[in-house]
Amino acid sequence: MNYVVEIKNLKKHFKEVKAVDDISFKVKEGDLFAFLGLNGAGKSTTINIIAGALDKDEGEVLIDGINIDNNHSGISSILGIVFQHSVLDDKLTVLDNLRYRAGLYNVSKLEFNKNLEFLSDKLDFKTILNRPLNKLSGGQKRRVDIARALIHNPKLLILDEPTTGLDPVTRILVWNLLGELRKKQKLTVFLTTHYMEEASEADQVVIIDEGKIVANDNPINLKNKYANDFIKIYKYNKKLLTNLKKQNYEFNIEKDYIEISLKNVAEAKNIIVNNASLINDFEVIKGKMDNVFLNVTGKQLKEF
């Protein structure tokens, strides 16, 4: 099995603050990996170490089998990064920004034109290639930011809050492109996000809190372990409330429905079967990643 990222006993301290406190994890080739945590939890510190922008105190970091201590210049060529804030030059056109980026990686003219055609089509920015960055909308800039990180065909793409504040159309374009690249080119995506629906699509989720990893698994296992399922009953006979109390179910009465907390989905089946004549409309809702994060850390993951 090929791992594109291997972190072993990584530590980084800033005086008394243990920003990254002995963390270890691996990311498989072609996977979508979600790295979750509040601001200050250690996410950005870890990413900056991977990218070579920050020295670690202890531990080992391997990118595609290469130790960053021995060959960071070689790693940079297989790494693409989309930061929270744009690193593009506002005074240059979209085309010049991308051409300059490709030049840093010695991308040939033929390869650049091929990649530009592909990315500008998939991210829908062909019509703005000759416009300066300072004349673009936030969504347009973000599309170009992502194209900049992909223009040299990296093997690992780090996305640090890539879709925060984006319109739905741009978000769909971005995720469709990344899905295609993961499938066709085995691109590995390392994602930090405050959007739990994005984390729910990941192959692996690591939650970091105060510099330590507090959870590491796929979304389904995390939900099964840390998040309760619910059943919402919209149309019902009031006798149902009496039955639920007798059956010792925990539930809340809302304006338009009853919400019942479940230990598992099988419990929902029992409720419906045992009260079939009293229930006319319902839905079963699986536990969400928001619940996982809250139950693991004791905190709400909010967008800051």
Of 204, 160, 259, 145, nearest to 4 by C-alpha is: 204
Asked if residue 137 has pLDDT above 60, the reply is: yes
The two three-digit tokens of residue 96, written as one number: 């010049």
- Let me know: does 227 contact 292? Beta carbons within 8 Å: yes
- For 174-212, the pLDDT digits (tens) are 999 999 999 999 999 999 988 888 899 999 999 999 999
Q: Is the pLDDT of residue 302 over 80?
A: no
- Residue 132, pLDDT > 90, answer yes
Residue 159 exposure: Cα atoms within 13 Å on the Cβ side: 29
In this predicted structure, the answer to whether residue 233 has a pLDDT above a threshold of 90 is: yes
How far apart, in Å, are the Cα atoms of 180 and each of 23, 108, 147, 173?
31, 23, 14, 11
Query: What number does CATH give the domain 3-222?
Result: 3.40.50.300
At 303 the pLDDT is 47
Q: Determine contact, residues 150/81, Cβ cutoff 8 Å.
A: no
More confident: 268 or 97: 97
Percent of the chain with pLDDT over 70: 98
Per-residue pLDDT at 49 exceeds 90 = yes
pLDDT value of position 287: 82
pLDDT band at 304 (very low <50, low <70, confident <90, very high): very low
- How do 258-262 and 58-63 pair as beta strands? unpaired
Mean pLDDT of the chain: 91
How far, in Å, CA of 270 to CA of 259, rounded?
15
Residue 157 has a pLDDT of: 97
Residues 228-285, CATH architecture: 2-Layer Sandwich (3.30)
- Give the range among 71-75, 238-242, 245-249 with minimum mean pLDDT: 71-75
Report d(CA 164, CA 192) in Å as an integer. Answer: 10
- Give pLDDT tens digits for 256-286: 899 998 877 788 889 999 999 999 999 988 8
Q: Is the pLDDT of residue 170 over 90?
A: no
Beta strands 229-236 and 279-285 are antiparallel
Do residues 94 and 144 make contact, with C-beta atoms less than 8 angstroms apart? yes
301 pLDDT exceeds 70? Answer: yes
Q: What angle do CA 113, 118, 122 make, to 5 degrees?
A: 145
Average pLDDT on 128-133 reads 96
Q: Which of 61-70, 118-127, 239-248 has the highest mean pLDDT?
A: 118-127
Mean pLDDT of 75-94: 90
Which residues of the chain does CATH 3.30.70.260 include?
228-285
pLDDT score for 249: 87
Please tell me the distance from the alpha carbon of residue 26 to that of residue 216, in angstroms, as a whole number.
10
pLDDT at 56 over 70: yes
pLDDT band at 165 (very low <50, low <70, confident <90, very high): low
